[in-house]
Amino acid sequence: MDLSNFREEYLKGQLHRKDLAENPFEQFQTWFEQALKAGIPEPNAFSLATVNAQGRPSLRTVLLKYFDQTGFVFFTNYGSHKAHDIEENPQVCMMLPWVMLERQVIIYGKAVKVSRAESLKYFLTRPKESQLGAWVSQQSSVISGRKLLEMKLMELKNKFSKGEIPLPSFWGGYRIIPDTFEFWQGGPGRVHDRFMYKLQEDGSWTIERLQP
């Protein structure tokens, strides 16, 4: 299939240095709120790139559950492929593709486990079906068919039919602690606007324009 003629012009805006917040978390907050207002489906969905000890990269989409000045938090099974990669190499990259706004944000940093108390606090906010889903799957493991998952789910529904569903010991959150942000705004003729924030030893951030 030849896609060479499939082309869109990016005309929705420009990004100027004078309009950027000095703190990248504040800039991210601004863009995230604009993504919400634009009605982008699941604006908190991001691609997470990991690399294992052998240097093999892996990529998948996960959901950002909350963020603040300490980092960006998502939740997963600690036995998953991504979790094994992070254990071997905690350096990760996340990318939010807000295509409708002709924008993307790329964030580099270190992934660290959140406390069990923090995982529990979030787990208790999940619908019961999602809580059971955390229990039922040995994420990334091979299985012969969906029927086995459905049978296990029924067993768990019966087991936890009364009272609260406990937090699984093998499930919890990671916080991505950034050291680099890139804010990308598409431009006409592929002359895009790109700005990179880099964390300095004193805790401050430098801002530099990158060529498209």
Query: CATH classification of 17-124+169-209, choosing from 3.60.150.10, 2.30.110.10, 1.10.540.10, 1.20.140.10?
Result: 2.30.110.10
Beta bridge partners of 62: 46
Is 9 known to sit in a ligand binding site?
yes
Judge residue 173's burial from the number of C-beta atoms within 10 Å of its C-beta, 0-12 exposed, 13-18 middle, 19 or more buried: buried
- Structure pTM? 0.92
Is 131 known to sit in a ligand binding site?
no
Calculate the CA 59 to chain-centre distance: 11
Structure tokens at 95: 């990318």
Mean pLDDT of the chain: 94
pLDDT of residue 143: 76
The active-site residue, picked from 17, 116, 190, 209, is 190
Active site residue 17: no
Is 175 known to sit in a ligand binding site?
no
What's the rounded Cα separation, in Å, for the pair 205 and 18?
Answer: 15
Closest CA to 212 of 6, 24, 15: 15
Contact criterion met (CB below 8 Å) for 83 and 61: no
pLDDT of residue 141: 76
Q: What is the per-residue pLDDT across 9-57, written as a single tens digit (0 to 9) for each?
A: 888 889 999 999 999 999 999 999 999 999 999 999 999 999 999 999 9
Phi, psi of 31, deg, nearest 5: -65, -35
